[in-house]
């Protein structure tokens, strides 16, 4: 074997050994766990930090356990058969204790495989329980029910829901116009009710005042307190000192001449 051949062979061996050493070490960053597979089968789970593996035989797959955010467009039908579209946002993370199981059954793309379909199915299931009007007026109740159902769905896959939010509800233009017209009509009815109630109060007040005055006068007559002298006093307290230009012939007219100088 020539000297050049030996040098070439030695270089190949050196590079192979160096590569083997390099491939024996790996680093798992914070916020992830490593799933180590040996000849394709799940072998163990590695926590963040530096680790070692058997080169060429074992592989390391990173699985994020950090909080992740996903946002999808969903469409469904309400209980009264109105088409509803919505933007749904979710915060979630993978339970690191079950990373190996999730990788084995689903893989690293679990978000695309289970999160989006679960959001769609949950939205359709919950929306079908409410009418379109209830989706608007009971939005928080809809959100809470959808969050509970989604949490139960994803718990089977060891995905933990941290936060769930329905960003908006959108309906057809025709239904939106109908809702606005209904709200305007309801406001008009409420305003009319308030005006009627105010009128009833004012009418009742007037009746009460008139009845009270009549009752007072009757009581004064019955007790003899409504004497001619008291009537004269009431007249003088209101009289401006001018004589009337027209005198009636009624017998109960007050004779003002007695108040004039003789």
Backbone torsions φ then ψ of 252, nearest 5 degrees? -95, 10
215/191 same-domain check: yes
Residue 8 in domain: no
Of 62, 67, 66, nearest to 100 by C-alpha is 62
Answer whether residue 79 shows pLDDT above 90: no
What per-residue confidence (pLDDT) applies to 102? 92
If you compute the radius of gyration of the chain from its CA atoms, what whole number of angstroms results?
Answer: 45
Say if 219 falls within a structural domain.
Answer: yes
Instruction: Say whether pLDDT at 67 is over 60.
Output: yes
141 lies in the same domain as 200: no
State the average pLDDT for the chain. Answer: 80
- Do 158 and 79 fall into the same domain? yes
74 and 159 share a domain?
yes
Mean pLDDT score, 125-149: 88
Closest residue by Cα to residue 172 from 66, 96, 61, 75? 75
**Which structural domain range is residue 198 located in?**
180-238
pLDDT reading at 137 higher than 90: no
Give how far the C-alpha of residue 116 lies from the chain's centroid of Cα atoms, to the nearest Å. 21
Looking at the structure, tell me whether residues 91 and 49 fall in a common domain. no
CA–CA separation, 108 vs 63, rounded Å?
6
Same-domain check for residues 126 and 152: yes
CA-closest candidate to residue 157, choices 223, 195, 107? 107
* Residue with more model confidence, 125 or 238: 125
Based on the structure, what is the number of domains in the chain?
3
Averaged pLDDT, 93-121: 89
| Boundary of a domain, candidates 138, 153, 171 | 171
153 C-beta neighbours (distance < 10 Å), count:
19
Give 211-257 pLDDT, tens digit per residue: 766 766 676 666 656 566 666 666 666 666 665 655 555 555 555 55
């Amino acid at each position: 074997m020539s000297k050049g051949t030996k040098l070439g062979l030695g270089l190949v061996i050196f590079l192979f050994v160096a590569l083997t050493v390099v491939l024996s070490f790996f680093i798992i960053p914070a916020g992830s766990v490593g799933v180590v597979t040996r000849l394709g089968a799940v072998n163990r789970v590695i926590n963040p930090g530096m680790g070692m593996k058997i080169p060429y035989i074992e592989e390391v797959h990173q699985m994020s356990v950090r909080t992740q955010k996903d946002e999808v467009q969903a469409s469904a039908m309400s209980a009264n058969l109105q088409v509803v579209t919505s933007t749904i946002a979710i915060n979630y993370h993978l339970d690191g204790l079950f990373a190996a199981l999730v990788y084995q059954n689903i893989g690293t793309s679990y978000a695309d495989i289970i999160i989006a379909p679960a959001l769609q199915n949950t939205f359709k299931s919950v929306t079908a329980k409410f009418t379109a009007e209830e989706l608007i007026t009971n939005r928080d109740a809809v959100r809470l029910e959808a969050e509970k159902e989604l949490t139960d769905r994803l718990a089977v896959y060891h995905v933990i829901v941290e936060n769930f939010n329905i960003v908006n509800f959108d309906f057809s233009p025709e239904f939106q116009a109908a809702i606005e017209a209904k709200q305007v009509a309801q406001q008009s009815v409420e305003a009319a009710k308030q005006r009627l109630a105010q009128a009833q109060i004012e009418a009742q007040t007037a009746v009460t005042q008139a009845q009270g005055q009549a009752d007072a006068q009757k009581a004064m007559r019955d007790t003899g307190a409504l004497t001619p002298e008291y009537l004269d006093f009431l007249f003088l307290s209101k009289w401006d000192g001018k004589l009337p230009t027209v005198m009636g012939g009624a017998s109960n007219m007050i004779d003002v001449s007695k108040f004039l100088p003789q």
